[in-house]
Structure 1
Amino acid sequence: MRTRRTPVRADEPATYTWQPVPGELSVAVMTLGHDADINGAHEAHSHDFPGLAFFSGDGGIVRTGKQVRHVEAGDLFVIAPGDVMGQAHCDDLVGAQGWGVFFTADVLGPETPGAHLAWRTHPLLFPFVRGGATDALRLKVPPQDRSEWAARVEALRDELTHRREGYREAVSAHLVLLLVGVSRLAADVVGDLRENAEPMLAEVFDVIERRYPEPLSLREVAEAVRISPGHLTSTVRKRTGRTVQEWITERRMVQARRLLGVTELTISDIGRQVGFPDAGYFARTFGKVHGMSPTSWRRVNAR
């Protein structure tokens, strides 16, 4: 799992962005426990991708938002993009038995909405949309289901580690089953998650989702949601850690990667389909985000 730290103001937590690797699935599993490499300087931060933290036994603490939560057997933390994880210490999870699962939404298929707030309509991603919430949602896996959850996460990690034939399909299946379990647990606790608590932000992301294939500026988004560009900029950055233009670019890059991977369209045609009439500008933007040209991405991904 490779991430990039987004610079922020001194009074804001850092934001980490997943850096896709051509040919690799954007799914990662890690063991959660005692870590001597983490100390008090390990900063508070958030991610712009979703994650889960599941604990099969008691032990340790988790810092989310401004809360310190003592870990109990069966705890399942649903970490949404923008949720703040507190400054970590090496002994926070001494004695803990847990796993972290992180992924990007596009691994669930080409029809998955590219904008975070549009996930409220997705049957597997709606628990990761909570408006202005800043700390992870805490659910509880029933005692009779905990061994099955642990086995499922271990099976997912095994597939990612050994990459046997068919591992992509296996990873997708295990991840979907985990998210089905999350959705079932969340349904009774957060029944209003589909009705986003940030109507203005939901409208912004709806505009981006509908209009990213065409030229789209900050001013045009602001006009569509009937607020000033300055207010829109400050609100979106405060709530998500990113600018409107960064979200537009991210949505375009998600679709560009899909088209590079599953079509034989020319680079110019792909650029036009994702809102870049100028093929050169599309190639430069893609290269800045991914560290390689669209042609190189396609070549490596095809392998």
Structure 2
Amino acid sequence: MDVLRENQEMCLPIFSFSHYFDNSTNVPVHTHPATELIYQAGGQCTVTIGKEKFLCTPGDLLVISPETAHNQISEGPVKTVFVTAVIDARLLSSRTRLIHFGNDPWTPRLMNMIQEMSREVRYELCGGVLYSLVRHIAQFERDQEFGTRNRIVTRAIKLIEANFNRPLNTKLIARSVGVSESYLRAVFLREKKISIFLFLQNYRMAHARRLLQQPYCDIKEVAFQCGYPDAGYFARQFKKIHLCSPTEFRFKLQTRPEFDLRL
């Protein structure tokens, strides 16, 4: 079995080429048959891909899909390291995008190692380091996505807690946290293991149960304070969950001390 076929079957990246620029070199429009990774180590440059322009500054990594025409215009002295490789989609998506690594130490270190090995024609060593680099990039993106999802869910929960007594819905919540409604639903379900609609419903019902412990707070007032449009709708929703009306629930609280409020 040849090396290329073995690498493909094992889902390993296949090294192609690596080099660097450390001056004001401008690169004309060109393509690569494999995925290109461009790391900006110093200075800045503009890479034009189709109608889109990417401004690369120190700590940025640009992923460019195979056979995608692009150029590079340097703005003053730069240090740019690039690697081309055939990368299996199971390891890393080849979708064109800019990843902001900031002060992450491993990306430039691994990129430089690959470049130095390539310069010394030690291609047999490039594969292992390239595999580490690709895994590191993929993990970095997963961590970023996880952090983004957590921030979205946290903001949505804080919004619900502060405004549960208003007629909230998932569309309004999504608009407030700056994402689409479908993305918010998917992220909330993935992170909290419950739909955002049920979370809002449960939060309102928990507050309603607390209010029903106050004998002088009538059902209409409870519905209003919990964000329901009217007492009838609130009563119907309450009965679906608790299998009794709000009035019956309050009666049980008064006559049965052992009645579980968590129901």
Give the shorter-chain TM-score range: 0.3 to 0.5
TM-score, L = length of structure 1: 0.35
Q: Which has the higher strand share?
A: 2
Q: Which has the higher helix share?
A: 2
Identify which of structures 1 and 2 has the higher relative contact order when contacts are C-alpha pairs closer than 8 Å and 6+ apart: 1
